[in-house]
Amino acid sequence: MDYTTQMDAAKKGIITWEMDTVAKKEGMEVETLRELVAKGRVAIPANKNHKALNPEGVGEGLRTKINVNLGVSKDCKSFEVEMEKVKAALEMKAEAIMDLSSYGKTAEFRKALIEMSPAMIGTVPVYDAVGFYDKELSDITVDEFFQVVEKHAEDGVDFVTIHAGLNRETINTFKRNKRLTNIVSRGGSLMYAWMELNNAENPFYEHYDRLLDICEKYDLTLSLGDACRPGSINDSTDACQIKELMVLGELTLRAWERNVQIIIEGPGHMAINEIASNMILEKKLCHGAPFYVLGPIVTDIAPGYDHITSAIGGAIAAANGADFLCYVTPAEHLRLPNLEDMKEGIIATKIAAHAADIAKNIKGARDWDNEMSTARQELNWNKMFDLAIDPEKARRYRKESTPEHEDSCTMCGKMCSMRNMNKIMSGKNINILRTDE
């Protein structure tokens, strides 16, 4: 192999199998894609040890991708239940799965996931560290943190979330600027606690080159986590969030010098009117690196419906430059999502991603909608079901309320505009009250 990472290959003018695969999926000239990867505008997370991977690109000019969070926890530790969710997520064509396992058979689950998944796999190694070492957080050493990262990389994880931007300067900014919800990032709060308890710098910031060594060795994409993402709309776009984003921009350039691919994680909870400007800020401060947003959730009042609040924010964010959406389920803020919650979260996020792709004029995005519109005009119900983002639900709704006339539905009956326009435009009479066809 004449290159170490996808970015290294791209800078050397080498077209990798992964680049060729992504270019074909996106309908993009492979040379254009190579240039974007070389500049860091597109990342292709593809660990050398993930043999089942069907690679995807994340970034400028590409379809908006979605990620599904899964994994075992202390309160919900069934390996089998989570694996059923994995299978469903893959059937629903999620491009990425993040294994957020924090208890029990984490290594076994991760390895099984990587072995079976064509989707890219991400993890947050700090979640795994406490259980892996069976030690209190404050007692974990710097070496042990890095050993867990390397273990995940060796297993074949394609991208890892590391909260390296939460350094002492960022913490001081946080302390000087009061928030309603403090630090809501789980990984960020764990790193904050470790730093405070040990009166130490963030090891992933202080020893960043050591982290880059691991990434370069395995072609592990670094997803720079947003420890200071807002956990309420009150806290968005504050000094703490922006300070961390500035640090992440500096870390991005250092990673690119080492040919390590970068994705930047972003907010969080955020009012609608702030979303577009936040996308501009990220792209500016982080030099056009791909942006991965968690929502944004646009209002804090809807537990049980946060797949909707997040889809609203996600669509606006992606239409204004975000490249990668983390799904949110109806169970957000309440419990670990079950299978049905996961499905609803995936559908809502896919809708947001597709709506944004239309706004961004992504090649071929409108074709799907135009096919659906044609099927509706033709009253071709089976084709409509086949084209639906959730065919199962569409078929079930139709079956649950059968119309008198097949060329209509129970909403409009023979007043159906499509039915009547088709008749009139073909020179026929319409028969709303008469019983003849």
Residue 71 labelled as part of a binding site: no
Residue 192 labelled as part of a binding site: no
Tell me, yes or no, whether 44 and 116 share the same domain. Answer: yes
Which residue ranges in the chain fall short of pLDDT 50?
none
Grouping H, G, I as helix, E, B as strand and the rest as coil, residue 224 is strand
| Residue 381 pLDDT | 92
The rounded distance, in Å, linking the Cα atoms of 365 and 340 is 27
| Residue 102 pLDDT | 79
Residue 286 labelled as part of a binding site: no
Domain extent for 417: 401-437
305 in a structural domain: yes
The per-residue DSSP string of 356-413 comes to HHHHTT-TTHHHHHHHHHHHHHTT-HHHHHHHSSSHHHHHHHHHHS--SSTTS-TTTG
Q: Which of 359, 390, 418 is the last residue of a domain?
A: 359
Tell me, yes or no, whether 306 and 406 share the same domain. Answer: no
Tell me, yes or no, whether 299 and 411 share the same domain. Answer: no
DSSP state of 183: -
Residue 98 labelled as part of a binding site: yes
Tell me, yes or no, whether 418 and 314 share the same domain. Answer: no
Q: What is the CATH number of the domain that holds 141?
A: 3.20.20.540
For 405-419, b/e burial (b = at least 16 CB within 10 A) is eeebbeeeebebeeb
Tell me, yes or no, whether 145 and 237 share the same domain. Answer: yes
Residue 409 labelled as part of a binding site: yes
Residue 196 labelled as part of a binding site: no
| Residue 363 pLDDT | 94
Q: Which of 330, 359, 388 is the last residue of a domain?
A: 359
Residue 269 labelled as part of a binding site: yes
Among residues 238, 124, 255, 104, the alpha carbon closest in space to that of 185 is found at 124
Tell me, yes or no, whether 352 and 405 share the same domain. Answer: no
Residue 76 labelled as part of a binding site: no
**pTM for this predicted structure:** 0.95
Tell me, yes or no, whether 405 and 336 share the same domain. Answer: no
**Domains of the chain: total:** 2
Tell me, yes or no, whether 37 and 178 share the same domain. Answer: yes
Residue 345 labelled as part of a binding site: no
pLDDT in tens, 88-110: 999 999 999 999 987 777 889 99
394 in a structural domain: no
Structural contact between residues 97 and 124, judged by C-beta atoms closer than 8 angstroms = no
383 in a structural domain: no
378 in a structural domain: no
Q: Which of 333, 359, 385 is the last residue of a domain?
A: 359
289 in a structural domain: yes
Residue 168 labelled as part of a binding site: no
Residue 152 labelled as part of a binding site: no
Residue 307 labelled as part of a binding site: no
Residue 50 labelled as part of a binding site: no
| Residue 52 pLDDT | 98
Residue 133 labelled as part of a binding site: no
172 in a structural domain: yes
Residue 187 labelled as part of a binding site: yes
